[in-house]
Structures are given as C-alpha cells and as structure tokens.
Amino acid sequence: MEMFEDSSSPAQKAYVSLANKYRPQTFEEVVGQESVSKTLMNAIKSGRIAHAYLFYGPRGCGKTTTARLLAKALNCTGGGNNKPTASPCGKCPQCLEIAASSDMDVLELDAASNTQVERVREAIIDTVALASGRDRYKVFILDEVHMLSTSSFNALLKTIEEPPAHVVFILATTELHKVPLTISSRCQTFRFKPITEEEITSHLLDLAGAENIDLEEEAAAVIAKSAGGALRDALTIFDRAISFSNGKVDKALVSQMLGILPQELVKDSVEAVIRKDGARLHGVFEKVKNEGFDSLSLLKDLKNAFGEIFYLSLNSGKEPYPGAKEILAECTPGHIAALTRKISKLTDEVKFSDTPALAAEVGLFTIMQNSIDIDGLISRLEALEHSSVSSLSVPSAEKKSLNNQPVRTEAVQSAPKPAVKSFEEIKKEMFKADAPAMPEAAKILRPAAKTETAAPSFSASPFAASPCAEQKVQERTAEPQANNISFSSAMEVWPSFKQELDKNYPFLYEGVLSASVSFPAKDEWEFTFKPKDGFFKDTLQRRIADLEKAALKVCGQRIKFNFKIAGGVPKEDAFSSTRTPATSAFAPKYSSPRPAAAPDKSKPAISSEEPFVQGDFSAYAQNDAPSAEGTKDAGPKTLEILDIFDGHIVG
C-alpha cells in the first residue's frame, strides 16, 4: 500500500514529454506558421468559416496542433461567448476536453488506421447528419488523410462537398500529391512550411530556461540542424539530451549522442575530394570505421558541407566548418554544385547496398576521379591567353588602358614618332637583290610579284555600262595567275602541291593520296590507280581544272596530268562509261550527262498512259550497285561524307 501511495504522489506523476507539455494552446504560440495563424484568426473574426480545411506540410510543423486550436476557437464558450472566437480561453470545458482529445463532438481519426471504406462510413458518413451533443460545431479531424483508399475518398466526396451547417472537416497530410484533386479542390488549403533553424534554436533556449536546464546555444543549433525543420523532432532530441546529460547540455554531448562526425573528418573529406587526394580520403574512411561512425552519415555530412560551401559562393549561408571558404579559391561554384548532386545520388545507392562502407568509399573515389572543373579550366586558359597577349611588345604610344583610352606619358609625347613604312616598301626590301640567301623550301613557296595582265575586251552588251557586271565577267573569264616560281624538280614542289589541295580541295587531296605518283617530265605528272580506285581516277579527271589551278599556283607553270589504271582499263561505271573527262584548265568542269536508256519495246507496258514505266533501267541498277570493297578501302573523309549523306561508292 505504501508503494501505491508513493507512486500516486505528485513526485511520482507520469512523465510528459516536452512536445506534449509545451504544445501551443493559442494561435499566437504556434512557432513558424504566422501566416496560417493570422489567416484563420481573421476568418473566425469575420465569420467566414469554411466547411472543410486541408493542412499540408512536413512532419512536426504544427498541422494537428493548429487543427485542435481551430476546433477550440469554433466551440469555446469561455467568458460567455456565444459565437466562435479567435482567442480561445483554454479554461472552459470545451477547451480542456479538446486539449485532452476527449471531446465527444471533436472526433480525431487516424486515416492510416481507418483506410477501409466501411470504417469511414461507420465513423463519419453515418454520424455526420446527427446534431452535436453539446458543442457549437461537430469537427472531424482526419490525420494523414492521404492514406485513405480510393473507395474511401469517393465515399467522402459528397459529404465533404456539402456537409451539414454544423459540421467542419479538417484534413491533415504530409503528402498533398496523394490526395485526389476532387477532395483538395473542395477544401481551403493551407501550406505549413518547415520551421527554420533560428526559430527552433530560439524556442529550445526558451524551453530550457523554463525547465531550468543549462543548454548551450551551439548545442541548441546542433539540435535544430538535426531536426530538419520539425519542431517536434527537435523537442524529442532535446528530451534525449537532458536524459543523457548531468544537467548541462553542450555541443560535444549532443554530437556524441547523435553520432555526428567531427568537423575535422568532414573538412578532410571535402579537401580530399576537391584536391583528388586518394590517400587522404582512404584515411578518412579508416577513421570512420575505427571510431564506429556510419559511412552513410559521412556521405550526408559531406553533401551538406558542399551544399553550404555552394551557398557561401553566392554570399549566403554560413561555413560548415572554420576555413571552409578557402575551398572557393581552388574551384568554381559550378564544380561544387556538380559534386553535391553526384554525392546525393551516391547516398541513395549506398542505402540499398549490402556493403555500405565499401560502396560509399568506392563511389566517392569514382566521383573524385571523374569530376573535372570545366569552368575553372576555362578561366585559367583565358587568364593565360590574356597574359600572353599583354606580354607582346607594343609601342608605348599605341598602348591603351582597359577603358580604351590612350595611355601617354611625357616621355612618349616628347619622343619622335617612328616612320611608318608602307607595305610596298617592306615588300621591296624583302625581295631586293642584295637580300640574304633564303632556304630552298622558302624559295619554292615565296610568292613573286604579280604581273599586270591586260584586261580582256568585250563585245557590246546591254551590261557594258555596269561596272559590277563587267567585273563579274572578268572574274569568270580571267585565267589563274602564275607565281612564276622556278623549280628544278617536281619532288621539290610535291609537298606544297599536296598542302594546297588539302587546304582548298580536300576531296581531290584524298584522291591524290590513293594513287601512285610518278614524274616522267618536269611539267608532266602521272597518277596510277588500282582497279578498285577507278572512282578517284574519274573524279580527278572531271576536276582536272582544279588540279591545274593548284599546280599553277604552286609551281608557276602549267602541269600536264595523266591518269591511268594499273593492269589495264577498269570496268565501266556510272561515271566513266558515259562521260568524257576534261583535259584542259579551261574546259568545262563536267561532261554531258549520261543519255537515257532506250525503252525495250519487247516488254509489255504496264499502262499506255504511263510512258515512263516503259524505260529499261537495268543498266543503271547494275552499275549503281554499292561496292563493299570500295567502301572498305575508301579514305576517312570519303567515309565521313558517305555517312552524312547516307551514300555509297559505285563501281
């Protein structure tokens, strides 16, 4: 009996958690939801009470508490009130019973436990039409309403849309997207936002003073950060910290209780990833394993650290550890943002791994090795280019400042201006008779002075008075100008000739490379092709004018080009069988097109009204068949062109 009496004494009363002990009893006491509280209070004062409300937001941010406060405001009778009040007294029977969840007219239902439509009909639909027993309003509070089944939502649909005048529905959920639009559109919706770390920290310090607990501000900040915007979670952690401590809650105690990694490990991890120091990163994981920390916690802390450093680059937020801002000097914000995203994806992978420690370390090594700071590289290249341009020697009188204003000193202004030589004077000095001897290769490629050519005469035409028309005719009919370069052998100019083709005629350059070249005479070059390379031979024959122009530009004289097939004449194809190659630089670039095949009258026509189908195109189909061998041995540029246009080599 004495034990029973002792257990019933005030000193042995049941323990009440801080979250329940300090639950807000008025709208003003709700932390971090001022906009919601103000809207509801104004609606009650003006009598604009809706028949259904929907509260959504993260866990522990005050949805259920606000629902109970709204029920109190609708039914409070303290002070002789006969209508809803925005400031419940908290002392009348209605307020006391609602706070204790024992009011018979305020029904709180856990939708997660009553998902079946039968339970919904029994608890709500069948009782909603009944008058309230004592209170002014019958209030239905449905917590976690997104857990209801589709059938339950359909059953509630008509009731929520048109409930009796004395009924108010208050729905609360953490996942708004799971609530059907047919339900949410019939409710007044209120968003509850996460509570900030500053608000949670301030609230914890106030409660610590009320409970006579020595709580350090840094410890309160750690608790607020670990709560993730949920005040209820913060109060639960604070409860644990009080039980874990001896009356004083400091940062070290909270970090040890929550298993938070030391800042040194987080710092080493960040710097190892940024500087790609594999040995240092492996040392971090060894410490994590030896000291019993969780590798998943390391990834989360590392991700949060990179995120806070990214915010620092935007001049917002605070350092995750002392000296974190120095990392910004080694990489760009874009690189930090990319690392944050990759580590976030790695965290999701490690959650489902059978070896989390190994998966975390290997994944982090992969991210570290494959991440490149592209923006940083571009910035360094631009700085290098700028320094190189700035180091060029420029006359002082011509230097300009960044704002494009001339920079002139007294010495520069008083110095005589150097004589500026014209291009013609410089050219005469370079090619005068007593100039120093030049290498043979330079002699070959050195351009000689262009000779003046007489303008061609034109017959009278209606465009004679137009200078533009005359200039176009001259450009179209004028011969290419020779450089008048003398060379002793064709081998001297052969490299320059190939370079000219590669620069201006890349397709001809590939054809030239596919042939064997010989020089029977100084002004005669011969190209020998394999039978399978007849396509290149035909191409060079059609483009012989371009070859002669290139040779004339490099050699200074006309070159005669001969083409032949090794071992005899190749089989006729769609090009060589019907076209006559040009043999002069001034001949047309292409010969006449292939004549159409004569129709075979022995074959019956499909229709006399369709004469086109009477033609015999068998020769075309046979000659245009793709050659796998020719495509296989074609040059890289030809294959690239064929791939772009979906073509093939015929012959």
Nearest 10 degrees: Cα torsion 510, 514, 518, 523? -30
Residue scoring higher pLDDT (102 or 643): 102
Residue 466: pLDDT over 50: no
- Which of the pair, 420 or 229, is modelled with greater confidence? 229
Average pLDDT over the chain, rounded to whole? 75
Asked if the domains 18-191 and 197-257 are classified in one and the same CATH topology, the answer is no
Q: What is the rounded CA–CA span in Å between residue 623 and residue 642?
A: 18
C-beta separation of 570 from 538 below 8 A:
no
pLDDT given at position 495 = 84
Per-residue pLDDT at 245? 83
Query: Can you tell me the distance from the alpha carbon of 114 to that of 235, in angstroms, rounded to the nearest whole number?
Result: 29
Torsion region of 52: left, alpha or beta (phi above 0 gives left; psi -120 to 50 gives alpha): beta
Residue 285: its pLDDT value, please? 92
Q: For 468-475, what is the mean pLDDT? A: 42
How far apart (Å, rounded) are the C-alpha atoms in residues 357 and 197?
A: 30
pLDDT for 455: 41
On the question of pLDDT at 34 being above 50, the answer is yes
User: Which range, of 49-58, 410-419, 475-484, 641-650, averages the lowest pLDDT?
Assistant: 475-484
Query: Which of 182, 176, 232 is closest to 204 using CA atoms?
Result: 232
Q: Which residue has the higher pLDDT, 490 or 154?
A: 154
Q: State whether residue 406 is helix, strand or coil.
A: strand
pLDDT at 599: 52
The predicted-structure confidence for 95-120, as pLDDT tens digits, reads as follows 999 988 888 899 888 887 776 777 78
Examine the pLDDT at 348 and tell me if it is beyond 50.
yes
Q: Does domain 465-597 have CATH number 3.30.700?
A: no
Q: Is pLDDT above 90 for 52?
A: yes
More confident residue, 292 or 406: 292
Stronger pLDDT, 502 or 435, i.e. the higher one: 502
Comparing 501 with 30, the larger pLDDT belongs to: 30
The CATH number assigned to the domain with range 18-191 reads: 3.40.50.300
**CATH number for the domain whose boundaries are 197-257:** 1.10.8.60
- pLDDT at site 436: 46
For residue range 211-243, list pLDDT tens digits in order. 888 999 999 999 998 888 899 999 999 999 998
> What's the pLDDT tens digit per position in 373-407?
888 788 778 777 777 666 554 444 444 444 444 44
At 57 the pLDDT is 93
**180 — pLDDT class (breaks 50, 70, 90):** very high
* Residue 46 confidence class, pLDDT cut points 50, 70, 90: very high
Is 245 exposed, middle or buried (CB count within 10 Å of its CB: 0-12, 13-18, 19+)? middle
pLDDT for residue 44 is more than 90:
yes
Model confidence over 181-217: pLDDT tens digits? Answer: 999 999 999 999 999 999 999 999 999 998 888 999 9
Q: Dump the DSSP string for 38-104.
A: HHHHHHHHHT---SEEEEE-STTSSHHHHHHHHHHHHH--GGG--S--SS--S-SHHHHHHHTT--T
End-to-end CA distance of the chain: 114
Predicted confidence at residue 521, as pLDDT, reads: 78
Contact yes or no for 177/145 (Cβ under 8 A): no
Q: What is the pLDDT of residue 206?
A: 92
Q: Which CATH architecture describes the domain 261-376? A: Up-down Bundle (1.20)
Name which of 251-260, 579-588, 599-608 the model is least confident about: 579-588
Residue 446 pLDDT: 43
The predicted structure's pLDDT at residue 74: 92
- Counting every residue, how long is the chain? 651
Average pLDDT over residues 48-63: 93
Higher-scoring residue by pLDDT: 547, 283: 283
Q: Which of 188-197, 337-346, 417-426 has the lowest mean pLDDT?
A: 417-426
Residue 517 binned pLDDT confidence (cut-offs 50, 70, 90): confident
What's the confidence (pLDDT) of residue 544? 85
Percent of the chain with pLDDT over 90: 26
Q: What is the pLDDT of residue 421?
A: 53
Q: How confident is the model at residue 568 (pLDDT cuts 50, 70, 90)?
A: low
- Angle ∠(642,645,647) on CA atoms, nearest 5: 50
Residue 148: is its pLDDT beyond 70? yes
Pairwise CA distance, residues 238 & 215, whole Å: 9
pLDDT of residue 200: 94
Going from the C-alpha of 380 to that of each of 109, 333, 383, the distances in angstroms are 63, 15, 5
Which tokens in the block code for residue 124?
């709500």
Compare 372 and 438 and report the one with higher pLDDT. 372
User: What residue segments make up the domains of the chain, in order of their start?
Assistant: 18-191, 197-257, 261-376, 465-597
What integer pLDDT is reported at residue 502 of this predicted model?
Answer: 80
Of all residues in the chain, what percent carry a pLDDT higher than 70?
69
Residue 478's pLDDT band, with cuts at 50, 70 and 90, is very low
**What pLDDT does 291 receive?**
85
